[in-house]
Copies of this chain bind each other. A is one copy, B any other.
Amino acid sequence: MSQYTLRERRDRAFGAGAPLFYKSPLHIVRGEGVYLFDDSGRRFVDMYNNVPCVGHANPHVVEAIHRQAQTLNVHSRYLHEGVVAYAERMIARHAPGLNRIVFACTGTEANEIAIAAARAATGRRSIICMDKAYHGNSDLVDKLTFAGERDDPDISPVRFPDAYRAPEQGLSDEDIAEHYLEDVKRAVDALQAAGNPVACFILCPIFANEGGTRIAQAYVPRAAEIVRAAGGLVISDEVQSGFCRTGQWWGYDSVGFTPDIVTMGKPMGNGIPLSAAIADVDIIERFRRLSGYFNTFASSPVQAAAGSAVLDVIEREGLEAQVAEVGARLVEQLRAIEHPSIGEVRGDGLFIGVEWVANRETGAPDADGAQQVVDALKDRGFLIGAAGAYDNVLKLRPPLVFEHQHAEQFMAAFRDVVSG
């Protein structure tokens, strides 16, 4: 036995500072459906993890991985029926015109591909993104995370359309959207004037990392029009919003527009590293021609088996409709709570955000209070997160198989915590 605790051993192996949840971290040893179990056997309802979308250790997915791993797992420079069939199935899930796919392993890699493809297609370099965006962790996409803080001629951040903290009191949602769309117009014009016109506009259509906004439908399709009118392409980062998260297949469906390039990741393989970028034939073939892109671990038979099994479960179990129903009722119940710290409840299917504020008049964010709620819910057996531009939005983002009964249990605990 080591003389160190698991936590100490972890710090000694990963280096101090490797991210860890909760003041007193959880030691999770098992998962099943929406449940996670710690080393003492305690059960938690997982309302945080979107990756195991069809449930932790889903038997159909596990069996598909096992069968394929027993048979073959190799790179994509040989022909493979399972890989091609999965690619066809993913394409069929998308809007017409989104008809060629490039597989990768992580959301970061998918966004790298999307940006490279947009640059190849337009012959331009510059990127418009949200000021509080997160699209991954490579050198390039990391620049988007820090777009609001560092000057880069190729990266133009615009304010995310924060309707809760609107620019003025009393504006209609349409007017608020219009206010933020001016940012996009200014960014497009400034890039044009600098001789570095926009190659692409990248956004999460439900503004997941920003904490959500109630005006996505008024904002996103029009922002896309502005960028396209200037010759740029629109990348919808569906790493969080895709795969029925919103109660529709794609975030772009739920906000009402069709992107030029879509990226996907987290839930695709229920935990097997799997991501993709999808666009039309001209964009993808030009990208392939110019880059010769090849990814050793991607487009593999095990990825395809896991991905296909995820689609099977979503389709068979009718999770698209279930997410819409369970999410809508949960939002309704949350909205029925009158509490001085709850500024707004926003929901897109099972992506639900609760603005936790110090003051409902000013909307001043209360990140510490939000973290206390997160910790108190953990102590009651429910795992949620705090996120958003100000780290104050309670984020409920359970596996898609989360049901009404789990929502009822959660609401009892939540009412208890907020009234306590």
A-B contact pairs, 20 of them (CB 8 A): A6-B81, A12-B100, A14-B288, A15-B285, A18-B76, A26-B79, A27-B80, A29-B81, A30-B71, A36-B72, A49-B74, A65-B66, A105-B105, A105-B106, A106-B297, A108-B138, A108-B295, A138-B138, A139-B140, A271-B302
A78 partner, pick from B14, B25, B76, beta carbons under 8 A = B25
Looking across the interface, which residue of chain B has its beta carbon closest to that of A287? B15
Interfacial residues of chain A within 323-381, with CB under 8 A of chain B in the complex: none
A272 close to B139 (CB less than 8 A): no
Say whether, besides A66-B65, A74-B56, A9 and B88 are in contact (CB < 8 Å): yes
- Tell me the chain A residues, 256-290 only, with Cβ under 8 Å from chain B: 265-266, 270-273, 281, 284-285, 287-289
Nearest CB of chain B from residue A342's CB, rounded to whole Å:
26
In the bound complex, what is the Cα–Cα distance between A355 and B218 (angstroms)? 62
Asked if A69 CB lies within 8 Å of chain B CBs, one says yes
Return the chain B residue nearest A72 by Cβ: B31
Provide the bound-state CA to CA distance between A27 and B74, in Å. 12
Q: How distant is the Cα of A138 from the Cα of B295 in the complex, in angstroms?
A: 10
Chain B: minimal CB distance from A163 (Å): 28
Q: Which residues of B contact A291 (CB under 8 A)?
A: 137, 142
- Bound CA span A297–B25, Å: 19
- Interface residue SS majority, chain A: mixed
The contact string, 1 if C-beta is below 8 Å from chain B, for chain A 83-117, is 01001100100000000111011111100100110
* B-contact bits for A298-334, CB 8 A (1 contact / 0 none): 1110100000000000000000000000000000000
Q: Given the complex of chains A and B, what is the CA–CA distance between A8 and B112 in angstroms?
A: 27
Which residue on B lies nearest to A112, using beta carbons?
B138
Q: With A7-B79, A17-B288, A288-B16 known to touch, is A137 a contact of B69 (CB < 8 Å)?
A: no
A409 on the B face (CB < 8 A): no
* A73-B88 contact in complex given A19-B294, A100-B13, C-beta closer than 8 Å: no
CB distance from A283 to the nearest CB of B (A): 9
A10 within 8 A of B: yes
Q: How far is the CA of A258 from the CA of B289 in the complex (A)?
A: 39
Is residue A62 contacting chain B, with contact meaning CB distance below 8 A?
yes
Contacts of A21 in B (CB 8 A): 77-78
CA distance A289 to B88 in the complex (A): 42
Which of B10, B75, B102, B116 touches A84 (beta carbons < 8 Å)?
Answer: B10
Q: Which residues of B contact A59 (CB under 8 A)?
A: 70
Q: Collect the chain B residues with CB atoms within 8 Å of residue A29's CB.
A: 71-72, 80-81
